[in-house]
Amino acid sequence: MSDMTTAAEWLKEQRQGLLDEELTKALDDAVASVRELGRKATITLKIEVETAKGITRDDVITIRDDVTVRLPRAPKAAALFFVGEDGGLKLDNPRAPRLPGTHAAAGVAEPDPTEDGVVFIRKDQSHG
């Protein structure tokens, strides 16, 4: 039998077990995101192995790891705006006429009902 270290053993030893913890959390986050959004996630483990710098022995190496996690994101909602004559963005269509009573709900002062000779008559609701 060989003394070769298995990848699973190395994962638990690399950075005093922090790589194993990082991958475990990444996998948990990926599974939760995929279940929630129905879109794929990607976890990439990059391992760099090289001779240890400044050491002339060939039996000493340095191993670096890098974990990259790409989780799916929920699509962001788009907003519809109108461009006014002044070039500014407006939520309301500046060319559409205003209906009586809609200004107050939008936080705009209600126009004077006698302006332009127009009079609004409200039905008295106390008489049936």
Q: What is the pLDDT of residues 43-52, one digit of tens each?
A: 999 999 999 8
Domain residue extents for the chain: 7-70, 79-109
Q: What is the pLDDT of residues 51-87, one digit of tens each?
A: 988 888 888 999 999 999 999 998 889 999 999 888 8
Highest average pLDDT, of 8-22, 83-97, 99-113, comes from 8-22
- Which conformational region is residue 3 in: left (phi greater than 0), alpha (psi within -120 to 50 degrees), or beta? alpha
CA distance 21 to 67: 11
Is the CB of residue 121 less than 8 Å from the CB of residue 113? no
The whole model's pTM is what? 0.59
CB atoms within 10 A of CB 26: 20
The token pair that represents 52 in the structure block: 């240890």
